[in-house]
A and B are shown apart, each in its own frame.
Chain A
Amino acid sequence: MKTATLSVIAATMATLLCAPASAQAETPRKRPNIVVILGDDLGYADLGAFGSEIKTPNIDALARDGVRFTNFYTHASSSPTRSTLLTGIDTHRNGMGNMDEWIAPNQRGVDGYEGYLRPGIPTLPEVLKNAGYHTYMVGKWHMGKAPDLIPRARGFERDFSLLDGAGSYWDMTNFTAASPKSVFTEDGKYLSKLPDDYYATKTYTDKMISFIDANRADGKPFFAYVAHQAPHDPYHLPKDWRNRHVGEYDKGWDAVRQERLQRQIELGIQPAGTELSERMWFVPDPIVLAPISRAMMGKKMELYAGLVENLDHHVGRLVDHLKKIGEYDNTIFLVFGDNGAEGTDLFDMIAGSPGSRDYLFSAINWSQTHPNSWGDPGSYPAYGPMWAQVSMTPFSQYKGWMAEGGIRNGLIVSGPAVQRTKGSINHGVMHVADIMPTMMDIAGASYPRVGDDKKAPALMGKSWAPMLAGQSESPRTEQDYLAWEVFGNRAVRQGEWKIRWQYKPYGTESWELYNLANDPAERKNLAAANPDKVKAMTALWDRYVQENNVILPNRSPYETLEDVMPPRVPDDKAFPPLIYRKQFVPPQDMMADPKP
């Protein structure tokens, strides 16, 4: 009885003491908003938070408020990354087994190689919409143009989207005579024209802000997919953003790369002692170039830097708006680039040769070649492989290739799901496919079943939720592996090891082996010395091929590259001495005039 009486008293007190807390706990906390900011061809080292001299204070502020991830992987090209981001499913199953622009003859008609995001595969916006989220998208889509493939059909309530992979930032001009006009949609309707004051980065931001504001009153969380076109070439940017770095890049790509690496080491992005990757063998040492050559090439990088800074400015506008309306503290931000920086001259590839149809098209639409016109409509500035390597410091190669410079990107995550130390850096191995399960966890969403009893394809990613909560350092174990294939180039990473197979001359057309912990720049091919490791990892590759129906293309954009590029040679510093040796200066006391 006595015990019972005490129990009742204790229970009563507990009830009284805990009442407010319980009441609070019963009030459902609003689920966080999710904002994914995707830079198109934005490089690993292009943000201040990742060691760049480019001024990105707004994105850097997100990094200070969140966590930077240094081992985050995308795909080597655009639409494969985007399709994986929005489905969490391997590209060879989600329809992007190859990019629409490069589907090989032997891939045509094969499921998974449609070149667009396959209908029926659940998407992140669909899943989040079903879970009570508003879903908005602005920017580049690049996953299909037919009515059943556009953003509205794939789960976005509101959108303002460029369906093409690239185009003018100023208008609807696209690149080829066969497809001269970029295609845009707004809220599921194809646009006949663009807004009067259209500039891609600005308009996308304006639209996203208007979408968020339009539905704010209902109190539902939102998913905002901000897929910026910037900084993809052509580097179109407003005039007042073009001249913020005049002459700063005349020093050349080697010096800027070295400076970025030094800052990365100081920041903790890369460990002390990290080496730069080789300068691509066909890229000249800027020291031996004439000032005009350095200035011309430097000007392209000036424009690129301005474009990234303009992108950051508009990211800042969105962030400021969320702060103003009181949503910032309840918003998760993810910021990253969709693949390595672009080192290939796309314009040259598209414009073709004199006499061709596309050359004529370019002469009319893309012939503003004077440097002072760069940034204007009709110009096509792009910075080339030398600066792409800078953007991917310290890694090797760039977009399209399976070296780290093609597939690794910097990732920033901030917001309420992140319980790790603000401003910290994490080196866990992560993949763009992880975003789907992570966001589902955070939103409390469940993966749908497709069809009657047929389950949706398995998600390939791993949720970051425990890692963001500080319960682990990586979503992956040492046994987990990642694999990639596009254009016939392929790679596998497991733990600190990586194998890659690439077309010549970027690769050897055989498996190369690298230890990324010791050699993130992939300078030392260890395949010959470690045949067992190669064998074990190629077995993982075979497994990946089997599980994902990987069909290697019988045609590739790189199939004849070796025939048209200079022979590959090592980048031995200061070779040949012939062009590096400085003027001999004799001792002063031995100088004399000629005798009469």
Chain B
Amino acid sequence: MTSNKKSRFARFPLLATALLAIGVIGSAHAEVPARFYWKSLTGGSAVPLIVESISGNANPFDPSHLVSDDANFDATLALAGYAQTFSLLDRPAMAAILFPMGRISGEARAVNGASVSQSASGFGDPTLELNVNIIGPKPQVDIPGAMRYEPGFSLDLLADLAVPIGEYDSKQSLNLGQNRWYGRIGAPMIMQLGAWVPGRRTTLELLPAVWLFGDNNDFVGRNLQTDPLLQIDAHLTRDFTANLWGSVDGSWYKGGKATIDGVAGSDRNDVTLGFTLGYTINSNIGLTASYRSTINDSAPGDMRMDSFMMTLVFGWHPLIEGFGRLKE
């Protein structure tokens, strides 16, 4: 009797796995993995590491995804960051900062129309994110609160801001930094479908958002303006076991017309489909692997991009770490 009870208790610090939900901020596609907005214990921290291999005809470091006709880029991208969960006005909240870095090379069309080889490497624009829940469970201020967490229907408000201090070479169109302020306002939603039991959790997650861009006054010597861009991400996720889950991912981008020195381009209207597998290694470490690709990309002006992405998130909470030390 006693031993059984102990074992059941011992499992509970595994609630810390929820910590792994935090910390992965926007990928180069301006998309986050499924289950990103699940809430966890307040006071938790996480360090995400994202590595992505991307090819296509738009700069993955630029969330407006300005398409260069006939261009062909290959990029290796890494992002590292830090995230913290807390309670704001008695609502669950998360703040994060993410630093993109990596290298990109490929054939791009120069402003004069010529095709040129370009490459860039270094750090991109760091991004700040604040996410505050509006509808849904109260903050998980203690472990009982974490134990009772079930998202039901939850709705957040999200604000991202990228700070234009990344590597930027005004002589070329391909850069890691974007030389302009930009950000996003969104409303992440989670709809719990069925039981909230590890091994059986199913969710439908939506992220409608609008990206807003400042002007880049030195885009190869010209002025680049970008209209607001609507983004809708959707994920249907399902546990396969208590630790293994998968999702079908889709996204739709609409708008974001670029204008260079008064010459307007066209709106984006592209759809991406993909899938993700996630695995929780232990109470601290979670891993995901994803692939996604644009599907309506046959015309020359369509955005064409596909990527493999691996994320590793290390999360921790002082209380959970203390439990871990006592168990040793």
Tell whether A348 pairs with B1 under 8 Å between CB atoms, given A369-B8, A372-B196.
yes
List 9 additional contacts besides A294-B144, A348-B3, A370-B197; criterion CB under 8 Å: A292-B147, A296-B9, A299-B147, A369-B8, A369-B11, A370-B242, A372-B196, A372-B198, A376-B197
A291 at the interface (CB under 8 A from B): yes
Across the interface, which residues of B come within 8 angstroms of A351, CB to CB? 4
A246 at the interface (CB under 8 A from B): yes
Across the interface, which residues of A come within 8 angstroms of B143, CB to CB? 290-292, 295
Q: Which of B1, B9, B200, B242 contacts A344 (CB 8 A)?
A: B1
Whether B1 lies near A292 (C-beta < 8 A) is no
Q: List 9 A-B contacts (CB under 8 A).
A: A291-B142, A294-B144, A296-B9, A296-B12, A345-B4, A347-B4, A370-B197, A370-B198, A376-B195
Measured CA separation A351–B5 after assembly (Å)? 13
Measured CA separation A351–B9 after assembly (Å)? 18
Q: Which of A239, A291, A344 contacts B144 (CB 8 A)?
A: A291
Whether A295 lies near B5 (C-beta < 8 A) is no
Closest Cβ–Cβ distance, residue B10 to chain A (whole Å): 11
Q: Which of B4, B147, B199 contacts A371 (CB 8 A)?
A: B147
Q: C-beta contact mask, B1-44 vs A, less than 8 Å → 1, else 0?
A: 10111001101100000000000000000000000000000000
Across the interface, which residues of B come within 8 angstroms of A344, CB to CB? 1
Q: Which of B3, B11, B144 contacts A247 (CB 8 A)?
A: B144
Measured CA separation A176–B199 after assembly (Å)? 24
Measured CA separation A376–B197 after assembly (Å)? 10
B150 at the interface (CB under 8 A from A): yes
Whether B195 lies near A295 (C-beta < 8 A) is no
A293 at the interface (CB under 8 A from B): yes
Closest Cβ–Cβ distance, residue A411 to chain B (whole Å): 31
A373 at the interface (CB under 8 A from B): yes
Across the interface, which residues of B come within 8 angstroms of A384, CB to CB? 5
A274 at the interface (CB under 8 A from B): no
Closest Cβ–Cβ distance, residue B239 to chain A (whole Å): 11
> Among A290, A294, A372, which residue has the most Cβ atoms of chain B within 10 A?
A372
Closest Cβ–Cβ distance, residue B39 to chain A (whole Å): 15
Whether B150 lies near A372 (C-beta < 8 A) is yes
Q: C-beta contact mask, B111-142 vs A, less than 8 Å → 1, else 0?
A: 00000000000000000000000000000001
Closest Cβ–Cβ distance, residue B18 to chain A (whole Å): 12
Tell whether A295 pairs with B148 under 8 Å between CB atoms, given A372-B196, A376-B195.
yes
Across the interface, which residues of A come within 8 angstroms of B150, CB to CB? 372
Closest 4 CB pairs of A and B: A295-B144, A292-B143, A345-B1, A373-B197
Q: C-beta contact mask, A352-383 vs B, less than 8 Å → 1, else 0?
A: 00000000000000001111110010000000
Closest Cβ–Cβ distance, residue A32 to chain B (whole Å): 45
A485 at the interface (CB under 8 A from B): no
Closest Cβ–Cβ distance, residue A565 to chain B (whole Å): 9
Closest Cβ–Cβ distance, residue A225 to chain B (whole Å): 33
Closest Cβ–Cβ distance, residue B324 to chain A (whole Å): 14
Closest Cβ–Cβ distance, residue B322 to chain A (whole Å): 11
Across the interface, which residues of B come within 8 angstroms of A349, CB to CB? 1
Across the interface, which residues of A come within 8 angstroms of B1, CB to CB? 344-345, 348-349
Closest Cβ–Cβ distance, residue B150 to chain A (whole Å): 7
A338 at the interface (CB under 8 A from B): no
Across the interface, which residues of B come within 8 angstroms of A371, CB to CB? 147
Interface residues of A in 245-292 (CB under 8 A from B): 246-247, 250, 290-292
> Among A250, A294, A370, A373, which residue has the most Cβ atoms of chain B within 10 A?
A370
Residue of A nearest to B15 (CB): A292
Across the interface, which residues of B come within 8 angstroms of A295, CB to CB? 143-144, 147-148
Interface residues of B in 242-274 (CB under 8 A from A): 242
Whether A372 lies near B144 (C-beta < 8 A) is no
Closest Cβ–Cβ distance, residue A215 to chain B (whole Å): 41
Across the interface, which residues of A come within 8 angstroms of B242, CB to CB? 370
Whether A292 lies near B197 (C-beta < 8 A) is no
Tell whether A250 pairs with B197 under 8 Å between CB atoms, given A296-B12, A348-B4.
no
Measured CA separation A321–B142 after assembly (Å)? 46
Tell whether A292 pairs with B142 under 8 Å between CB atoms, given A246-B148, A372-B197, A373-B197.
yes
Residue of B nearest to A299 (CB): B147
Whether A372 lies near B9 (C-beta < 8 A) is no
Q: C-beta contact mask, B146-170 vs A, less than 8 Å → 1, else 0?
A: 0110100000000000000000000
Whether B12 lies near A292 (C-beta < 8 A) is yes
Measured CA separation A247–B148 after assembly (Å)? 9
Residue of B nearest to A370 (CB): B197
Measured CA separation A371–B199 after assembly (Å)? 13
Residue of B nearest to A246 (CB): B148
Q: Which of A246, A299, A373 contacts B195 (CB 8 A)?
A: A373
Across the interface, which residues of A come within 8 angstroms of B9, CB to CB? 293, 296
Measured CA separation A344–B200 after assembly (Å)? 30
Residue of A nearest to B4 (CB): A348
Closest Cβ–Cβ distance, residue A396 to chain B (whole Å): 19
Q: C-beta contact mask, A230-244 vs B, less than 8 Å → 1, else 0?
A: 000000000100000
Across the interface, which residues of A come within 8 angstroms of B195, CB to CB? 239, 372-373, 376
Residue of B nearest to A345 (CB): B1
Across the interface, which residues of B come within 8 angstroms of A348, CB to CB? 1, 3-4
Across the interface, which residues of A come within 8 angstroms of B200, CB to CB? 373
Closest Cβ–Cβ distance, residue B43 to chain A (whole Å): 14
Tell whether A292 pairs with B4 under 8 Å between CB atoms, given A370-B198, A373-B195, A376-B197.
no
Residue of A nearest to B11 (CB): A369
Whether B147 lies near A296 (C-beta < 8 A) is yes
Measured CA separation A336–B200 after assembly (Å)? 38
Measured CA separation A292–B142 after assembly (Å)? 8
Interface residues of A in 365-413 (CB under 8 A from B): 368-373, 376, 384
Measured CA separation A348–B3 after assembly (Å)? 9
Interface residues of A in 300-346 (CB under 8 A from B): 344-345
Across the interface, which residues of B come within 8 angstroms of A368, CB to CB? 197
Measured CA separation A291–B140 after assembly (Å)? 13
Residue of A nearest to B149 (CB): A372
Closest Cβ–Cβ distance, residue B327 to chain A (whole Å): 14
Across the interface, which residues of B come within 8 angstroms of A292, CB to CB? 12, 142-144, 147
Whether A250 lies near B11 (C-beta < 8 A) is no
Across the interface, which residues of B come within 8 angstroms of A247, CB to CB? 144, 148
Across the interface, which residues of A come within 8 angstroms of B199, CB to CB? 370
Residue of A nearest to B146 (CB): A292
Across the interface, which residues of B come within 8 angstroms of A372, CB to CB? 150, 195-198
Across the interface, which residues of A come within 8 angstroms of B11, CB to CB? 369-370
Residue of A nearest to B197 (CB): A373
Measured CA separation A245–B198 after assembly (Å)? 23
Measured CA separation A250–B147 after assembly (Å)? 13
Closest Cβ–Cβ distance, residue A96 to chain B (whole Å): 26
Closest Cβ–Cβ distance, residue B238 to chain A (whole Å): 16
Closest Cβ–Cβ distance, residue B280 to chain A (whole Å): 14
Closest Cβ–Cβ distance, residue A268 to chain B (whole Å): 36
Measured CA separation A514–B174 after assembly (Å)? 91
Across the interface, which residues of A come within 8 angstroms of B3, CB to CB? 348
Across the interface, which residues of A come within 8 angstroms of B196, CB to CB? 372
Measured CA separation A349–B198 after assembly (Å)? 26
Measured CA separation A371–B143 after assembly (Å)? 13
Closest Cβ–Cβ distance, residue A366 to chain B (whole Å): 12
Measured CA separation A246–B137 after assembly (Å)? 13
> Among A294, A295, A351, A368, which residue has the most Cβ atoms of chain B within 10 A?
A295
Measured CA separation A17–B278 after assembly (Å)? 91
Measured CA separation A246–B200 after assembly (Å)? 22
Measured CA separation A533–B197 after assembly (Å)? 57
Measured CA separation A384–B6 after assembly (Å)? 13
Residue of B nearest to A373 (CB): B197
Across the interface, which residues of B come within 8 angstroms of A296, CB to CB? 8-9, 12, 144, 147
Across the interface, which residues of A come within 8 angstroms of B144, CB to CB? 247, 250, 291-292, 294-296
Measured CA separation A371–B150 after assembly (Å)? 12
Residue of B nearest to A282 (CB): B2
Q: C-beta contact mask, A208-235 vs B, less than 8 Å → 1, else 0?
A: 0000000000000000000000000000
Measured CA separation A293–B150 after assembly (Å)? 19
Closest Cβ–Cβ distance, residue B90 to chain A (whole Å): 16
